[in-house]
Chains A and B, each alone.
Chain A
């Protein structure tokens, strides 16, 4: 502790340099915290029922007529069209992810992932303007059951509409909790695309029906203008995992580059600081400070800057990065978490110390007499 005052004095000698270094490291920490939280959220893959198939359009959205036709196929228990849209709340920046669904089929399709109480789901099912709002959006906007909210909604192809909803409940389930559910029918009519779905989900009656159903569905629409690609839960999951793996690799690569930047900032900053303090280090050596002691003080200084920058960057990240939706996986929202922030703060301190290592080592090994002689 007795050296802390000395370290702090050294840090404030060049306020501008320290501030710039701190800002650069804090910005990097902010970015790293965001990336680390994103990587963690990418690990979360919502499950779907064992009997669930997903049907995507080979060339884009599918017409609603497909939903009706599939519903009539033998072995189908329930079928649901699914339409993604974006909604803006009170402010343009307050984005919601909206999932237009067919409410009658929703809980049959995903029985293992939705745990919305009947007291909330039933009023939603009956009201075409109903909204089951995602937990993050509800928290941000302070919405409660019974509220009427108007959102600026936009879907693919630039379709837009102002839509008014009534909040009937909350979607609080796991990674799906970022999604706000609305009725697809209401969405399609409002945006002027009444007969489209981004994808279709169905629940089979029996597991053994699945291969036949998959074949039948894709064959039925093969010759139509909107051919389909039907996947099982496992296939869908494999695709999701592959996408997430690519995403994780990308995020990891960016994190590595940011980490290297932190290292270089720390090295450069400490090299400049130590060059300016060559005489003082030599003086301390004449007073009896050993090279190792001065080395420790310099590394302590670097650690303190790293810690301060880490805390600042991580705090800003935790406050500002809340409920952000991944463009590659709208189902999984991410928020900067204290766990990711803790890891990043630790990494920033380590990188700052490692970055300071070489210049500190060089400065502390120079003989005091040589420095004093060269500086006059």
Chain B
């Protein structure tokens, strides 16, 4: 199976005050196309930083980062933005929906960057909302939706532009157990039915259990090699 994500000896440091903080220290990793990988580890282990690098929101200090066949480690800010629009869908812990836009408009947002016609955009948004079970809530503002529903809108927005990979950063962090299970089931379905490569950052072993494999990070390094999650398809 082809590699969706190839990370070679990637390092990342931040300057905080006068100090240099080494967040990732030469990580190498491969994620095959269509796989669902969970990144786990304690706070400050570098898992969110790694996710941001994979999503092109940040750039590594050194090393090589190939996502969807494109080396993104040297792309400019604008080129990264265009690449993200075509290749990556994000799901955030805080949902990060635009409060003044309805569910429909939030999902449509990434499609505004494409050359799709209005009717085609409408068709795709309706499909995405149907996929997450919120077609009847398309006119609702985020404040009129529950946390679980907002996260489902966020998932619809992540898949609507048909990206190669979906990156989810603690998507269940703000949800109760029941809603978290629903959201993880939905992400799992997106991975399986749409064949999207999915990278999940989580502290929650129950959420990680939905992934094909789990990678544990600690202090900027991979602590445990990728391993199959037993019973990964609950």
- Please count the residue pairs between chain A and chain B whose beta carbons lie under 8 angstroms apart in the complex: 69
B99 touches A285 (CB 8 A): no
B221 is an interface residue with CB less than 8 A from chain A: no
Considering the chains assembled together, what is the distance between the CA atoms of A298 and B98 in angstroms?
A: 15
| A2-B112, A287-B85, A369-B57 known; A9+B78 contact, CB < 8 A | no
B109 is an interface residue with CB less than 8 A from chain A: yes
A290 is an interface residue with CB less than 8 A from chain B: yes
| A285-B81, A287-B85, A290-B82 known; A3+B100 contact, CB < 8 A | no
Question: Could you say which of A3, A13, A280, A288 contacts B82, with CB atoms under 8 Å apart?
Answer: A288
Considering the chains assembled together, what is the distance between the CA atoms of A9 and B101 in angstroms?
A: 7
B84 is an interface residue with CB less than 8 A from chain A: yes
A324-376 interface with B by 8 A CB criterion = 367-369, 372, 376
A280 touches B98 (CB 8 A): yes
B58 touches A288 (CB 8 A): no
A290 touches B101 (CB 8 A): no
Considering the chains assembled together, what is the distance between the CA atoms of A9 and B98 in angstroms?
A: 10
Question: Could you say which of A3, A286, A367 contacts B90, with CB atoms under 8 Å apart?
Answer: A286
B85-114 interface with A by 8 A CB criterion = 85-86, 88, 90, 92, 94, 96-101, 105, 109-110, 112-113
| A288-B110, A290-B78 known; A283+B96 contact, CB < 8 A | yes
A9 touches B100 (CB 8 A): yes
Residue of B nearest to A13 (CB): B100
Residue of B nearest to A375 (CB): B94
B109-159 interface with A by 8 A CB criterion = 109-110, 112-113, 118, 157
Interface centre among A288, A289, A376 (most CB of B within 10 A): A288
B77 is an interface residue with CB less than 8 A from chain A: yes
B113 touches A289 (CB 8 A): yes
A205 is an interface residue with CB less than 8 A from chain B: no
A254 is an interface residue with CB less than 8 A from chain B: no
| A13-B99, A279-B96, A368-B57 known; A287+B82 contact, CB < 8 A | no
A10 is an interface residue with CB less than 8 A from chain B: yes
A20 is an interface residue with CB less than 8 A from chain B: no
A284 is an interface residue with CB less than 8 A from chain B: yes
Considering the chains assembled together, what is the distance between the CA atoms of A250 and B206 in angstroms?
A: 75
B110 touches A287 (CB 8 A): yes
B contact face: mostly helix, strand, loop, or mixed: helix
Which B residues touch A65, using CB under 8 A?
A: none
B118 touches A2 (CB 8 A): yes
Interface centre among A285, A287, A367 (most CB of B within 10 A): A287
B47-73 interface with A by 8 A CB criterion = 52, 55, 57-58
Which A residues touch B83, using CB under 8 A?
A: 288
Residue of A nearest to B89 (CB): A287
B90 touches A291 (CB 8 A): no
Considering the chains assembled together, what is the distance between the CA atoms of A351 and B109 in angstroms?
A: 29
Considering the chains assembled together, what is the distance between the CA atoms of A279 and B82 in angstroms?
A: 19
A1-23 interface with B by 8 A CB criterion = 2-3, 5-6, 9-10, 12-13
A287 touches B78 (CB 8 A): no
Question: Could you say which of A9, A12, A287, A288 contacts B105, with CB atoms under 8 Å apart?
Answer: A9
- Distance to closest chain B CB from A207 (angstroms): 74
Which B residues touch A367, using CB under 8 A?
A: 57-58, 77
Which A residues touch B57, using CB under 8 A?
A: 286, 367-369
Which A residues touch B92, using CB under 8 A?
A: 372
CB-based closest 10 A-B pairs:
A288-B85, A290-B81, A369-B57, A13-B100, A288-B84, A290-B78, A283-B96, A9-B100, A287-B110, A369-B58
Q: What are 17 contact pairs spanning A and B, CB under 8 A?
A: A2-B112, A6-B101, A6-B105, A9-B101, A9-B105, A283-B96, A283-B98, A284-B109, A286-B55, A287-B90, A288-B81, A288-B88, A291-B77, A291-B81, A368-B57, A372-B96, A376-B94
Chain A residues within CB distance 8 Å of chain B: 2-3, 5-6, 9-10, 12-13, 279-280, 283-293, 367-369, 372, 376
15 extra A-B contacts, CB within 8 A, seeds A9-B100, A10-B100, A286-B96? A6-B101, A6-B109, A9-B105, A286-B57, A287-B85, A288-B86, A288-B110, A289-B81, A290-B78, A290-B81, A291-B77, A367-B77, A369-B57, A369-B58, A372-B96
